[in-house]
Chains A and B, each alone.
Chain A
Amino acid sequence: MKKLLNNKAARTNLITYLVVVLAFLAMQLMNSAGMLGSSMKGFLVPICVYISLAVSLNLLVGICGELSLGHAGFMGIGAFSGILIAALLKNTIPNDFLRLLCAMLGGGVFAGVVGFVIGVPVLRLRGDYLAIVTLAFGEIMKNIVGNLYAGTDAEGFHIAISTSRMPLGEGGKYIINGPLGATGIQKLATFSMGFLLVLFTLFVVLNLINSKEGRAIKAVRDNRIAAESVGINVTAFRMKAFVVSAFLAGMAGALFGLNYSSVTATKFNFNTSINILVFVVLGGMGNILGSVISATVLYILPEAMRSLQDYRMILYAIVLIVVMLCTWSPKVKEYLSVAADKALGIFRKKEVGTNE
């Protein structure tokens, strides 16, 4: 145990888990004390979902160094397959919690499988080209799911991808209704499940990073040719990271889908992918705790600025640009550090003055 605490990586991980657990407990306490407003309560599940999405995307972008612009596509696959599974298992598994768990696992598996199928051809590409292909993939997914019909009638379960509405027989009930999306969803999502999802995501991603697989992934990012020369199958590792990331995004998507009474495919568009990417970049690439914090803050920020109405998104845009400039630009950073030194200098002088 002592050895564990001396290890820097282990210490960082421990802090990450602690922060998440404490935040959950604090929220639960505030909730039971009635200190949370109804809007804040509504944020709890989406925040957990976006934390998981950000952490899983960080595995791909920060650790693996591959830019993906289609993360929302996997989220969407997870959401719709999760909704389907939850609806179909309604009579088989009466327990809501277990059904939600099945739906999330199913969503994850679906997204993971799609990730694998897409990954085989796509992961041959690198850099900006991989980014554009993931973008294209996200749009294709949105397009297909937007024309997906699924429902049950007297004859059983029907599913179709079609440009026209799929007809259902007597007693028919649509679960997914093409462009109208999934409607009449039973809201199964709970904050506790969201918390468990975040913990699971952290567990998987942090474990992966601190294993031989994680070292190989980082090695591929640092120097692909050297990694190959020591016997690492680069494509296989990009694939592993891609599939794990898709799986986690699928689980998060399922939880997200089951948190609303209706969901349409347009929710999982390019903008959502970009938002998740913004969480990752602002939280720090490869910094898992950073992703957790930035997803939380950046999700609440626009919501908290609702009173500013029309100015809210423009302020968000400005905050985004300014933060990027302050954290990345060498000139701005230099200016800031000089300014900080000056401010500190004045402070110190005063201190010295009082001492005399």
Chain B
Amino acid sequence: MNEYSRKMVKVPTVNLLREQDMGKLPVLDVRNLGIDFGGLTAVDGFSITVGPTEISGLIGPNGAGKTTIFNLLTGVYQPTRGSVLINGIDIKGMPTHKVNKLGIARTFQNIRLFSDMSALDNVKVGMHNEIKCSFLASLLHLPSYYRAEATANQKAMELLDFMGLADVADVKAGSLPYGVQRRLEIVRALATNPSIILLDEPAAGMNPSETTELMHQIRRIRDTFHIAIFLIEHDMNLVMNVCEAIAVVNYGKIIAKGTPEEVRNNPAVIEAYLGREEDDA
């Protein structure tokens, strides 16, 4: 690993903020993040800022530590070093559910839907903290319960409709096709009213036409809800087309950061993906 860092090519960090994000507090501000599992360093010195309406990508070879980074950002793992600020608030020591309330929501690489519940109910679970109804009211089904449920149903249906899932609202999540399940996970994440969503390989298992559709939807999410999107993806077509900024990690470290154009032409990135050419060969 040490040998690697010596060989690393430094890329000047460009200002990747979109024009409309200038001067605004970044929604995600990660500084020098690192985690060790036992003696193994899985992530080290990871820093990134994501503006309030930015679509950025995290790419890297398999096992580079991408999902571990997502787990660190959402409080599933506690970092060994560094800090994560969401909307300016440090998540240090917070359990996952509190981190979510700061405005970060995510999807999972291996889909984690509530498979026994209907698609609509999955979204309503996502809206949990948005539904204003006391414990006693739900226990006794007071009028406020019915009001809250009606509002929730309406909003959940709107969100499903936004992703083109309105007609499967009553279908059990576990029996939906793979691509639909991925989109449902996005809807569930949106339902928590986040300011940034993390998508972990959203296009995995999708066919090309579904992927194209997903690309439009990702842009539409940002443009409609004015939120930031940070995604891990192996489909380079999607990443290069959708993301405005890209970070590349390998062996738990950032090896390049920049616009798609810059990243594409970066020798370190090419090396990480294709292997290194021996200098003395």
Taking the complex as a whole, does A directly touch B, i.e. does some CB pair lie under 8 Å apart? yes
A140 to B106, CA, bound (A): 43
Q: Which residues of A contact B105 (CB under 8 A)?
A: 229-230
- Other-chain residue from A207, A232, A234, A244 in contact with B125 (beta carbon distance below 8 A): A232
Interface centre among A223, A226, A231, A244 (most CB of B within 10 A): A231
Among residues of B, the one whose C-beta sits closest to the C-beta of A214 is B138
Q: Which residues of B contact A228 (CB under 8 A)?
A: 76, 95-97, 100
- Other-chain residue from A213, A223, A230, A233 in contact with B135 (beta carbon distance below 8 A): A213
Docked-complex contact A207 and B128, CB < 8 angstroms:
no
A208 to B192, CA, bound (A): 21
Q: Which residues of A contact B64 (CB under 8 A)?
A: none
Docked-complex contact B128 and A222, CB < 8 angstroms:
no
- Other-chain residue from B133, B138, B141, B192 in contact with A230 (beta carbon distance below 8 A): B192
Among residues 213 to 268 in chain A, which have CB atoms less than 8 Å away from a CB atom of chain B?
213-216, 218-219, 222-223, 225-234, 240, 244
A213 to B138, CA, bound (A): 7
Contact A225-B112, Cβ < 8 Å, known A230-B100, A231-B129, A232-B128? yes
A223 to B131, CA, bound (A): 21
Among residues of A, the one whose C-beta sits closest to the C-beta of B112 is A226
Among residues 85 to 144 in chain A, which have CB atoms less than 8 Å away from a CB atom of chain B?
none
Q: Which residues of B contact A211 (CB under 8 A)?
A: 133, 138-139, 141, 145, 149
Write the nearest CB–CB distance from B237 to chain A, whole angstroms: 28
How many B residues have CB within 8 A of the partner chain? 38
- Other-chain residue from A212, A222, A226, A229 in contact with B138 (beta carbon distance below 8 A): A212
Write the nearest CB–CB distance from B148 to chain A, whole angstroms: 7
Asked whether any CB of chain B lies closer than 8 Å to the CB of A204, the reply is yes
Docked-complex contact A212 and B114, CB < 8 angstroms:
no
Among residues of A, the one whose C-beta sits closest to the C-beta of B121 is A215
Docked-complex contact B139 and A208, CB < 8 angstroms:
yes
A225 to B109, CA, bound (A): 13
How many A residues have CB within 8 A of the partner chain? 26
Q: Which residues of B contact A225 (CB under 8 A)?
A: 76, 96, 108, 112
A212 to B116, CA, bound (A): 16
Q: Which residues of A contact B138 (CB under 8 A)?
A: 207-208, 211-214
Asked whether any CB of chain A lies closer than 8 Å to the CB of B258, the reply is no
Asked whether any CB of chain A lies closer than 8 Å to the CB of B126, the reply is yes
Q: Mark A10-40, 1 if CB is under 8 A from B, else 0.
A: 0000000000000000000000000000000
Q: Which residues of A contact B128 (CB under 8 A)?
A: 212, 215-216, 230-232
Among residues of B, the one whose C-beta sits closest to the C-beta of A240 is B135
A113 to B117, CA, bound (A): 32
Q: Which residues of A contact B192 (CB under 8 A)?
A: 230-231
Among residues of B, the one whose C-beta sits closest to the C-beta of A233 is B97
Q: Which residues of A contact B97 (CB under 8 A)?
A: 228, 231-234
Docked-complex contact B117 and A218, CB < 8 angstroms:
yes
- Other-chain residue from A215, A229, A234, A240 in contact with B124 (beta carbon distance below 8 A): A215
Docked-complex contact B139 and A212, CB < 8 angstroms:
no
Q: Which residues of B contact A207 (CB under 8 A)?
A: 138-141
Docked-complex contact A212 and B108, CB < 8 angstroms:
no
Docked-complex contact B114 and A231, CB < 8 angstroms:
no
Write the nearest CB–CB distance from B171 to chain A, whole angstroms: 13
Asked whether any CB of chain A lies closer than 8 Å to the CB of B257, the reply is no
Write the nearest CB–CB distance from A246 to chain B, whole angstroms: 15
A208 to B134, CA, bound (A): 12
A160 to B115, CA, bound (A): 51
Write the nearest CB–CB distance from B260 to chain A, whole angstroms: 28
Asked whether any CB of chain A lies closer than 8 Å to the CB of B69, the reply is no
Interface centre among A203, A211, A213, A244 (most CB of B within 10 A): A211
A204 to B136, CA, bound (A): 10
Docked-complex contact A222 and B101, CB < 8 angstroms:
no
Docked-complex contact B113 and A223, CB < 8 angstroms:
yes
Asked whether any CB of chain A lies closer than 8 Å to the CB of B53, the reply is no
Among residues of A, the one whose C-beta sits closest to the C-beta of B96 is A228
Docked-complex contact B113 and A230, CB < 8 angstroms:
no
Write the nearest CB–CB distance from B107 to chain A, whole angstroms: 9
Write the nearest CB–CB distance from B216 to chain A, whole angstroms: 25
Q: Which residues of A contact B114 (CB under 8 A)?
A: 218-219, 222-223, 226-227
Write the nearest CB–CB distance from B139 to chain A, whole angstroms: 6
Write the nearest CB–CB distance from A108 to chain B, whole angstroms: 13
Among residues 181 to 215 in chain A, which have CB atoms less than 8 Å away from a CB atom of chain B?
203-204, 207-208, 211-215
A214 to B131, CA, bound (A): 13
A231 to B97, CA, bound (A): 4
Q: Which residues of B contact A214 (CB under 8 A)?
A: 138
Among residues of A, the one whose C-beta sits closest to the C-beta of B100 is A231
A201 to B97, CA, bound (A): 30
Docked-complex contact B108 and A226, CB < 8 angstroms:
yes
- Other-chain residue from B101, B112, B113, B152 in contact with A231 (beta carbon distance below 8 A): B101
Asked whether any CB of chain A lies closer than 8 Å to the CB of B74, the reply is yes
Write the nearest CB–CB distance from A40 to chain B, whole angstroms: 34
Write the nearest CB–CB distance from B184 to chain A, whole angstroms: 11
The 9 closest A-B pairs by CB, nearest first: A211-B138, A231-B100, A226-B112, A228-B96, A222-B114, A219-B125, A230-B126, A233-B97, A219-B114
12 contacts between A and B (CB under 8 A): A211-B133, A212-B128, A212-B138, A215-B117, A218-B114, A223-B114, A228-B95, A228-B96, A228-B97, A229-B189, A230-B126, A231-B100
Besides A211-B149, A212-B138, 9 other CB < 8 A contacts?
Answer: A207-B140, A212-B152, A219-B117, A225-B76, A226-B113, A229-B76, A230-B100, A231-B97, A233-B98
